[in-house]
Amino acid sequence: MENARELVGGNFRGHLDALALRLDRLGYDVDASVHMLSSVGLPQRRERSLVVAVRRDHEMHTLAELWEGTTIAPEAITVRRAIGHLPHVEAGETAPDDPMHLSPSIGRESTRRRLHALPHDGGSWLDLRSTPGGDDHLTPAMQRLVAAGRLGSHPDVYGRLWWDRPAPTVKRECAHFGNGRYTHPEQDRLCTVRELALLNGFPDDYVFRARSLSNMYRHIGDAVPPLVSAQLAALCTWIISGVRPDLRDAILPGTSLRPEDLRSADLVPTQPSSDFIDAHPSRLVAAGVSLDLEDHQR
């Protein structure tokens, strides 16, 4: 099961405790952990809880265990790798060879000017304050935030992606500039459906069926990244068959991750990487065991 990170280490821990207790009584061992999915090849900083339950006549294995001794080439999880090869399209246009490579048109001229003024490769509206005439592009809400000194995560609003970093978390509200850092690194438009789908681990030929463009974006943000789902399927095969799969066979074709991106680690760590935050020991032996997460808060 995949869910928000708060299921393991936040306000929803009680739900996980209750689920683990019920599964324990039914004869299942439970592993729950928080993973930064860029550590398994997703070109996005997406932190999620993963819960695996295994009947006790099978041996427990985990995603961290599947990746033991293996690292990823840094360039494999960048925005450039995921979308840098796609053709240029204007806002409101569709690429002739890919109906998913489209983004919304921009209705307001003020929005067009604001996007055009954003510095390429990671610029945001906050950068406009240091450019000549940049204050003219700030909305009243932006001006109030600056005056109050309350920026928080707000600089990501109307922000461009960085080419050589993983994307920030792609959320279900990714269909609008004002909801996060979803603007193309160079082109003056929202990232297309295809671009955000690739950043969330969909194959490059996936077609979304939805009544509206906004629903396509919502499907992307709500999805368990298929790139990760394929690895979880390989993990299930390992648990059921008892045969450890080759990690290269768990790479979903058509995504930004390639078999040649995998590297052997110089030393296999005795403890999981910091990107794999174990919630508790992999086996709950006695009924009623509580999940001790205090040492794993970030």
Q: Is residue 120 part of a domain?
A: yes
Q: Is the pLDDT of residue 8 over 90?
A: yes
Q: Is the pLDDT of residue 27 over 80?
A: yes
219 close to 197: Cβ distance less than 8 angstroms = no
Which pLDDT band holds residue 253 (cuts at 50, 70, 90)? Answer: very high
Q: Is the pLDDT of residue 154 over 90?
A: no
What per-residue confidence (pLDDT) applies to 219?
A: 97
Are 168 and 290 in a shared domain?
no
Predicted TM-score (pTM) of this structure: 0.85
Q: Tell me what the mean pLDDT of segment 140-166 comes to.
A: 78
What per-residue confidence (pLDDT) applies to 115?
A: 87
For the stretch 263-273, pLDDT in tens is 998 743 444 44
Q: Which residue has the higher pLDDT, 74 or 298?
A: 74
DSSP H or E stretch at residue 52: strand 47-55
pLDDT-wise least confident of 3-12, 132-141, 217-226: 132-141
Whose tokens are 């990107």? That residue is 275
Q: Tell me what the mean pLDDT of segment 265-284 comes to.
A: 44
Of the residues 204, 222, 240, which one is the last residue of a structural domain?
222
What per-residue confidence (pLDDT) applies to 107?
A: 86
- Count the domains in the chain: 2
What CATH number is attached to the domain comprising 122?
Answer: 3.90.120.10
- Domain around 147: 79-222
Please, which residues have CB within 8 angstroms of residue 35's CB and are 6 or more apart in sequence?
47, 48, 49, 50, 63, 64, 275, 276, 277
CB 128: neighbour CB atoms within 10 A?
20
For the stretch 195-246, pLDDT in tens is 999 999 999 999 999 999 999 999 999 999 999 999 999 999 999 999 999 9
Using alpha carbons only, give the angle 131, 135, 138 rounded to the nearest 5 degrees: 120
Are 36 and 152 in a shared domain?
no
Beta strands in 168-288 (DSSP E): 262-264, 276-278
Q: Is residue 235 part of a domain?
A: no
Are 36 and 150 in a shared domain?
no
Are 262 and 193 in a shared domain?
no
Q: Is residue 183 part of a domain?
A: yes
Are 136 and 23 in a shared domain?
no
32 close to 8: Cβ distance less than 8 angstroms = yes
Of the residues 173, 199, 222, which one is the last residue of a structural domain?
222
Are 86 and 152 in a shared domain?
yes
pLDDT-wise least confident of 126-135, 178-187, 214-223, 249-258: 126-135
